[in-house]
Amino acid sequence: MQTIEFVRPGLAAERQHWYRIAAWLAGITIGYNIVEGLVSVYFGFADETLALLGFGVDSYVEVISGLGIWHMIRRLRTHGDGDPDPFERQALRVTGTAFYLLAAGLVTTGAVNLYQGNAPVTTFWGVVISLVSITGMWLLIHYKMKAGRALGSDAILADAACSRACLQFSLVLLAASAGYALTGIGGIDSAGALIIALLAVREGREAFAKSRGKSACGCNSCT
What are the extents of the domains in the chain?
A: 16-222
What's the CA gap between 64 and 162, in Å, rounded?
13
Full-model pTM:
0.83
Q: Checking phi first, is residue 215 left (phi over 0); if not, alpha (psi -120 to 50) or beta?
A: beta
Give the Å distances, CA to CA, from 164 to 33, 89, 151: 14, 21, 20
**Residue ranges in 47-85 assigned as alpha helix (H):** 50-79
Contact 179, 188 (CB under 8 A): yes
Cα dihedral 85→91→97→99 (10° resolution)? -120
Per-residue pLDDT of the chain (223 residues; tens, 9 = 90+): 444 444 455 667 888 888 899 999 999 999 999 999 999 999 999 999 999 999 999 999 989 888 888 888 888 887 766 666 787 788 888 888 999 999 999 999 999 888 888 899 999 999 999 999 999 999 999 999 999 898 887 778 878 887 888 899 999 999 999 999 999 998 999 999 999 999 999 988 988 888 787 444 445 444 4
Type of residue numbered 210: K
Torsion of CA 119, 124, 128, 131, to 10 degrees: 60
